[in-house]
Structure 1
Amino acid sequence: MPKPLADALPAGASLERVAAFLGGAPGDGGGTAAPAADPAAVPAAVPAAVRPPEVGRVPVAGTAPGAGTAGLGLVCGDPGARVRTALFALDVTAGSVDEAVAAGADLLVVRRPPFQGDATSTARLMHRLGAGGVALYVQDPGEAEAGAGPADVLAGLLGLRAVRPLLPVAERVDLVVTSVPHAAADAVIDALAAAGAGRIGEYARCAWTAAGVGTFVPGGAARPAIGAAGRTETVPETRVEMMLPRARRAAVVAALAAAHPYEEPPYYLCELAARPGGGREDGGEDGRVGELPAATSLSAFAARAARLLGTGAAGVRAAGAPERPVRTVALGGLGDGDPLGERTPGADLLAAAARSGAQVFLAGRVPDRLAAEARRDRGPALVQVGTATAARPWLAEAAAGLERGLGGAVSARVCASVSDPWWPAG
């Protein structure tokens, strides 16, 4: 029988609130507070003529906190449904789906988007989730960057000190563009800046503006701030453009919806290219490197890693001289998308580990060719722990963070299926 999520079900929270927290939206412990969505939130400088009856009364379609794009965020589920129990896993698999349904979970949170393999099989799994009343949330890599990633959590578990990135990472940046009546432009810019937009180096509230004319025809069910249903309106407007970290996207959109005077705020988002020299642009992890409190041997380090990760000796493999001294440890290649192999992001991490002076590199998966090189003491020694084993501490921290962030309203744990699928023979 599946392990129950909790002895007594907690009070729960709406799926919309849980998704907002996971997405780093304001007001749920995930980001900077945005202006309140009520008429008083619109500064007095905005004339009454351009104030809607209820600011933020109608959410902008597709922009609710946690709303998914390209298979990320809240992929399926009723935002108004109650979430009392949640399971965390790496992927949407038969194991994670079966466990979530059997345990009566309300939400499954995964690290990687579905539909990356056999679409038909994944569609069946998605149907089973829906039929079992289980919502699905896919963690956005940009959201994960805002907090501790798998390598950070693993570094803490191993007790590494002076932890730093192995590779610089190009900050993922968006551009938000909106148009607003002239009198409300400063208020909207202020709200977007408070939510995290408009910072360039040591400069804050950076925005580009231009004057133009907006035109629209309100529908019969609309409650326009300006004009009347069925009549063409033209409004002198200010176009506003501001840059923002992609991890602040949900917070900035929520702030725009709350501060903009229109019932349906017009806006769009552009994903900007990374700046030259700013770091890797492939979306892979950047890895970590740190120091052990005291030097040890490779065999002792591998045995300690196995004990801390709960894999047992059979779950960890090492390549390199067992007596080799180890003090500086590099971490990376902890996901299926970052194996340590040629022409993959993981190869960059291994080269960076060698440059950092690390004596050992701990990874999820290691190709035999690289292991053979490590046995000849060419570069760092290698320790392979398995992808699921490497990710499990991070998933556990994410589950605990959800419980803490929502004040115990939701009970969460890691799927039992997140484990090394291999077992030792003999």
Structure 2
Amino acid sequence: MANGNQVIQLFEEFAPKHLAVEGDKIGLQIGSLNKEVKRVMVTLDVLESVVDEAIEKEVDLIIAHHPPIFSPLSQVNDRSTAGKITMKCIQHDIAVFVAHTNLDVCVGGVNDWMSEAIGLHDTKVLVPTYEEPVYKLTVFVPETHAEDVSRALGKAGAGHIGDYADCQFRVAGTGQFTPLEGTTPFIGTPNETEQVNEVRIETVVRESQKKRVLRAMKDAHPYEEVAYDLIRDEIEGHVYGLGRIGKLGQALTLEEFAEHVKTSFGVEGVRFVGDSKRLIEKVAVLGGDGNKYVSAAHFKGADAYVTGDLYFHVAHDAMALGLAVVDPGHHVESVMKQGVVDVLAEKFQKAKIDVDLIISEANTNPFQFK
């Protein structure tokens, strides 16, 4: 059992809100997180059948990818689908939390799970949406505690540059200060100027790490008032974005690739656009409705683009560009159910909290094949 806010705090370490595209409907949509949570259910969609399943299985919190409330509700009653869903959840004290484009964009999220499903390697972001700022952190530490502070910074994640971790630079020097009346200095006496052998430690910190790193630094530092600088750096930060582009292990014809996508996602059928005999090696993937990003896939040099909800005229545009497209449907984003459960299970284990995690078994795919 855990508090609902604690559950979401752990989840948002993986898929933070700031990664969502502007205007996306994410976060807590129904109910309260200020309660004890014993069971969490993960689902792609929140339909009435999903809520009924949650009621039957005594679920306290639903984590969904698609928001049940996408447009503002002028009324909450049983005359609309969204109203029914909202009422049932409130009546049975079930909270609904949504992670949409932030779960698409985050590292190891929906688009990475989809890329893994079809066996892409050397993947990169298809459509950049956010570059994480990087800061230079400089802290002054007495020699006696330099190693303690250094280890704390590294353990908190500071100093990551490219494929190198725990990057730091140190310079020895002399620190000077005068503790004022009422202070309790670690070194020195109030109203007397003190000089101390200190070490200047420099490292880099990403935006998402700032609070954690500064807290760890201050906890390890012996001084009552820690002297440090935190300055925005021009180092290129990690780039996040929608979709991925990578390569297959071996080239396939478009016809073979379409069959591979069908099998990989376990769907009954796929639509595809292009010459069935053309060879496919470089592939772009974007979960959900990817019509807006056909040109991006072509610009990045993709032979084929895997996405859902392909429009008729966009298919014509892709043909004109010479880009093959495979549409397995929007519902293949359901790979997120197992993915989120796996992520949370690991985080719950590390945090030593006991919360049941289940995957919704309700079928939310509106399409059938004949």
Determine if the TM-score, normalized by the shorter chain, exceeds 0.5: yes
Kindly indicate whether residue 113 of structure 2 is the aligned counterpart of residue 153 of structure 1.
yes
2:324 partner amino acid? A
What's the counterpart of residue 132 of structure 2?
Answer: 172
Larger strand proportion of the pair? 2
- Aligned twin of 2:63: 109
Query: Equivalent pairs: percent with the same residue?
Result: 20
CA gap 1:349/1:414 in 2 versus in 1, 3 angstroms: farther
CA change 1:349–1:309 in 2 (3 A) is same
The match for 1:290 among 224, 243, 247 is: 247
Report the CA distance shift for 1:140/1:372 in structure 2 as closer, same or farther (over 3 A): closer
Structure 1 residue 99: Cα displacement: 4.0
- The equivalent of 1:306 in structure 2 is 262
How many angstroms apart in 2 are the aligned matches of 1:144 and 1:195?
Answer: 26
Q: Which residue of 1 aligns with 2:156?
A: 195
Specify the alignment match of 2:335 in structure 1: 393
Is the contact between residue 141 and residue 221 of structure 2 (CA under 8 Å) also seen in structure 1?
Answer: no
What's 1:332 paired with?
Answer: 285
Equivalent runs, 1:71-90 vs 2, <5 Å:
76-78=32-34, 81-83=36-38, 85-90=39-44
2:357 to 392, 408, 412: 412
| CA shift in 2, pair 1:129/1:174, >3 Å | farther
Give the direction of change, closer, same or farther, for the CA distance of 1:331–1:297 in structure 2 (3 Å limit).
closer
Q: What one-letter code is carried by the residue in structure 2 that aligns with 1:87?
A: M
**Which residue of the other structure, out of 340, 345, 348, is the alignment partner of 2:296?**
348
Whether the aligned pair in 2 keeps the contact of 1:396 and 1:413 (CA below 8 Å) is no
Q: TM-score, normalised by structure 2?
A: 0.64
Deviations 1:221-249 (A, max 9, x none): xxxx97xxxxxxxxxxxxx9985334546
Contact residue 63 and residue 97 of structure 2 kept, 8 A: yes
Amino acid at match of 1:306: K
Q: Distance in 2 between matches of 1:251 and 1:285?
A: 27
> Contact (CA 8 Å) 1:363, 1:390: kept in 2 or not?
no
Cα separation, 1, equivalents of 2:215 and 2:5: 13
Task: Work out which of the residue numbers 80, 100, 117 in structure 1 matches 2:54.
Answer: 100
Indicate how the Cα distance of structure 1 residues 18 and 139 shifts in structure 2: closer, same or farther if over 3 A, else same: same
**Per-residue CA distance 1:33-68 (angstroms, 9 max, x = gap):** xxxxxxxxxxxxxxxxxxxxxxxxxxxxxxxxx997
- Residue 12 of structure 2 corresponds to which residue in structure 1? 23
Alpha-carbon spacing, 1:375–1:143, altered in 2? closer, same or farther (3 Å): closer
Q: Measure how far apart 1:118 and its partner are.
A: 2.1
Deviation at 1:310, TM superposition (A): 2.7
Q: Name 1:233's counterpart in structure 2.
A: none
Residues 391 and 178 of structure 1: CA distance in aligned 2, closer, same or farther (over 3 Å): farther
Which residue is 2:316 aligned to?
Answer: 372
> Retained in 2: the 8 A contact 1:68–1:74?
no
CA contact (8 A) 1:172 1:246 kept: yes
Measure, in 2, the Cα distance between the counterparts of 1:137 and 1:308: 28
Question: Taking structure 1 as the reference length, what is the TM-score of the superposition?
Answer: 0.57
Residues 153 and 415 of structure 1, relative CA distance in 2, 3 Å threshold: same
Paired position in structure 1 for 2:188 = none
Q: Which amino acid aligns with 1:204?
A: C
CA contact (8 A) 2:152 2:216 kept: yes
Give CA-to-partner distance per residue, 1:389-409, whole Å, 9 cap, x none. 231123322213333554594
Residue type of the partner of 2:345? E
Matched residues in 1 for 2:312 and 2:144: separation? 62
- Post-superposition Cα deviations, 1:69-111, rounded to whole Å, max 9, x if no partner, equal 89866784136x143x222234656555454344321222234
Q: Deviation of residue 371 (structure 1)?
A: 0.9
Partner of 1:6: none
User: What is the SS of the residue equivalent to 2:288?
Assistant: coil
1:371 corresponds to which letter in structure 2?
A
Structure 2 unaligned spans of 5+: 77-81, 185-200
Q: Distance in 2 between matches of 1:253 and 1:95?
A: 46
CA contact (8 A) 2:42 2:64 kept: yes
Deviation digits for residues 123-175 of structure 1 (CA, Å, limit 9, x no counterpart): 95566545423344444867876642223222332234x33215485642366
What is the rounded CA distance, in whole Å, between the counterparts of 2:145 and 2:67 in structure 1?
A: 37
- DSSP-derived class of the 1:23 partner: helix
Distance 1:383 1:393 in 2: 17
8 Å contact from structure 1 (residues 174, 243) kept in 2 = yes
Distance change (3 Å), C-alpha of 1:415 and 1:294: same
Measure, in 1, the Cα distance between the counterparts of 2:152 and 2:145. 10
Give me the whole-angstrom Cα distance separating, in 2, the residues matched to 1:165 and 1:180: 38
- For structure 1, the 5+ residue unaligned runs are 1-11, 25-29, 31-65, 216-224, 227-239
The answer on whether the counterparts of 1:296 and 1:325 sit within 8 Å (CA) in structure 2 is yes
- Residues 252 and 280 in structure 2, CA contact (< 8 A), matched pair in contact too: yes
SS at match of 1:148: coil
SS in 1 for 2:310: coil
